Amino acid sequence: MGDSILCTGGRIFTGERYCEALLVEEGRVVAAGTEAEVRRQSPTGAEHRPLGGRLVLPGLIDAHLHLADVTRFREGLGLGGVRSLATMGETVRQWAAGHPTGSIVGRGWDPERSPDRAWPTYRDLDRAVRDRPLFVLHVSGHAGVANSAALARAGIDRRTPDPPGGRLGRAPDGTPDGRVFESAVREFVGRPDDLDLPEPTAFRRTMHWAASFGLTSFGAMSVAPEEATVLGDLAARGELPGRVRAYLHGGRWEEYFRAAPGRSAPDDRFAVIGVKEYTDGAFGPRTAWLSAPYADDPGNSGVPAAADDRLRDLLEAISRRGLAPALHAIGDRAVEYSAGMIGRYFRGSGPPARIEHAALTPPEVLPALARVGPVLVVQPGFVWSDHWLVHRLGPGRARWAYAFRTLARQGLRLAGSSDAPYDPVDPWRGIRAAVHRTDPEGRSANPAPEEQLSAEEAVQLYTVHGARALAEPGLGRLEPGAAADLVVTGVPTLEAAVALGRGSVRETWVAGRSVARAAADAQTV
């Protein structure tokens, strides 16, 4: 590929409008317009790429995913296909036989996918693996189940109290039964001494694979200092196939700067721009913080996860560093609380403050959100994945879950994301869910047609608006001056691309260079 590339005869969605030709020079878009306009600016000797009427899009941006966990997930024990405790045991046993040493973490388990919705106890897990620690992480990441070896290694027995911000499941006599919730999960996964950080080459594999969906930029969340170092080193060596903007782990962010004060220097491919912190849990384990109790668990309104003074200190400290907060808030009470805390204590003038998920936003919380105006980083795919939500919230409240059109109408800025590995990486799934609301089996967390987005609006969540969330106005659009990160599809229209999803992606470019072609492996998370 030469330094100048002239693309003609296409249907190019720039993120803002349609045009037919594009001129790319040294990794940037130089011109976008009619063929005559763009040809006039094209130097002699430019490489000519006739598009043959095919659709071109800006490279897609996933503003919130967990890169290391996606990588562990792809290369470790996946339990996303488990539909019963029996198949869980069989899957774990087989994996353990092929990986005979070390502790085991299974990811992607979703009890809502099995008919009896049963949770195992340590006894069930011991039947699969007894001689070494096994931990099965709930798909939400906010709960899990440990076998007896994992409980023993964590030093948990009947005298162990519930940790602050967390809970241990217990038998009637008080003995821990293996189930753990919220902060207690940290005893089993993501501990600094047990990080099992993927190899740099594994991160590269994940990003090349993600590029086969058309993804070119990533908001990497809850990044551990070690992970940021690996990604930064890859970027410095020119080996990062996409762009990463990292939000450090709220409990460990200062370690990163202590270890290497110069590391924060931003790079085209990698920069640390914020810190992620939790203010509540998730709907699945009923720990999302609600203003009124769960419809299927009266007396429980979820769990606030942040202490006021600690969150205040964090917001003030990161303001001084020029970093942005990314506050996880799923329940309506947590969303309102997060907006209030950002409004009171965040003073940064760099990247924008974000609220992650903002899943439940009834009319009462909209004024607080509109006043503070954080970027809301939403996961349209959850409209499909959380199809059981009406049981948790009741039909009246579920109407205000994932209410994207309502939020946009308030002038709030929304960005699209997957939250992978807690939902599939595939951005087309989220785009389809934003457009159709109801999944192919007719299920939805909130089917309200008033909340549907057009195909263009849905793609904008993952392009121009995603770029805003990452404070990168030169990404997510194919206008002059922007990065030539783009997706060449094999179809003529956006509607066809949305319908076909990954199957429509022929080639993905980052900075004018191809990073994935359609022949790439067809595996999905």
Binding footprint of Zn ion on the chain (CB under 5 A): 221, 419
Nearer of residues 68 and 511 to Zn ion, judged by Cβ: 68
Nearer of residues 354 and 506 to Zn ion, judged by Cβ: 354
User: Closest-CB residue for Zn ion?
Assistant: 419
Shortest Cβ 426–Zn ion spacing (Å): 16
**Residue keyed to tokens 């109407």:** 399
Nearer of residues 136 and 221 to Zn ion, judged by Cβ: 221
Query: Strand runs (DSSP E) across 384-504, as ranges?
Result: 414-416, 486-489
Shortest Cβ 66–Zn ion spacing (Å): 6
**Residue keyed to tokens 């299920």:** 443
**Residue keyed to tokens 């899957």:** 91
Amino acid at residue number 108: G
* Separation CA 354–CA 341 (nearest Å): 12
Nearer of residues 181 and 509 to Zn ion, judged by Cβ: 181
Shortest Cβ 64–Zn ion spacing (Å): 6
Query: Could you give the C-alpha distances from 493 to 53, 452, 478, in angstroms and in order?
Result: 9, 19, 17
Shortest Cβ 201–Zn ion spacing (Å): 24
Nearer of residues 189 and 221 to Zn ion, judged by Cβ: 221
Shortest Cβ 15–Zn ion spacing (Å): 25
* Separation CA 220–CA 280 (nearest Å): 19
Shortest Cβ 67–Zn ion spacing (Å): 11
b or e along 357-394 (b: 16 or more beta carbons within 10 Å of the residue's beta carbon)?
bbbbbbeebbebbeebbbbbbbbbbbbbbbbbbbebbe
| Three-class DSSP category at 190 | coil
Please give the DSSP secondary-structure letter assigned to residue 186.
G
Q: What is the CA radius of gyration of the chain?
A: 23
Question: In 3D, which of 445, 444, 368, 446 has the Cα closest to residue 412?
Answer: 368
Nearer of residues 169 and 381 to Zn ion, judged by Cβ: 381
Shortest Cβ 221–Zn ion spacing (Å): 5
Nearer of residues 20 and 419 to Zn ion, judged by Cβ: 419
* Separation CA 215–CA 342 (nearest Å): 30
Dihedrals φ, ψ of 464, to 5°?
A: -55, -40
Shortest Cβ 62–Zn ion spacing (Å): 11
Please report, for the chain, how many H helices and E strands are present, in that order.
Answer: 19, 24
Nearer of residues 67 and 207 to Zn ion, judged by Cβ: 67
Q: In what order do the strands lie in the sheet with 243-249?
A: 60-65, 215-223, 243-249, 270-278, 324-329, 354-357, 375-378, 414-416
Nearer of residues 106 and 219 to Zn ion, judged by Cβ: 219
Shortest Cβ 223–Zn ion spacing (Å): 11
